[in-house]
Amino acid sequence: MATMVFVNYPVKDVQASTEFYAKLGFKKNEEFSNERSSSMVWDDHFWIMLLEYDFYNLFLKNKKIADTKSQSGTLTAFSVESPAAVKKIAEAAKANGGDYFSVDMGIPEDQMFSLEVMDLDGNQFEPVWMAEN
């Protein structure tokens, strides 16, 4: 069995966040979603779980949720099939209330291309394309 990755993000508005991620190309898995959370599937191995704050807090044990508008909670990268796919996700994010920016890592874009994307709550992720060797 291949390893699956489930990234959990705290969100203020599950419905708005669900719509945001759907516009980026994620698909909602109704079986693992409810009024307090949405399971958003990129592919068979990578999912983002959108959890309302009260639900997310159940998993923290005496910790506070980071204010991801001004602090970083995590940076999750996932691979996509092309530089165009990276740009499509980033542009969709910006068009729907999120944002994105580029970091110059000194790697030629014909070898690797990524953009830093922020969702409605400031959670950050990085779609990345890497050339096959």
> What is the value of pTM for the model shown?
0.89
Fold of the domain spanning 5-55+72-130: 2,3-Dihydroxybiphenyl 1,2-Dioxygenase; domain 1 (3.10.180)
> For position 102, what pLDDT does the model report?
97
* Domain spans in the chain, listed from the N-terminal domain onward: 5-55+72-130
Residue 3 backbone class (left: φ over 0; alpha: ψ -120 to 50; beta: rest):
beta
DSSP 8-class letter at 30: G
Residues 59-90 as b/e (b if ≥16 CB within 10 A, e otherwise) read eeeeeeeeebeeeebeeeebbbeebebbbebb
> For position 26, what pLDDT does the model report?
98
User: Taking the mean position of all CA atoms in its chain, how far away is CA 66?
Assistant: 16
> For position 93, what pLDDT does the model report?
98
Which stretches of the chain drop beneath a pLDDT of 50?
A: none
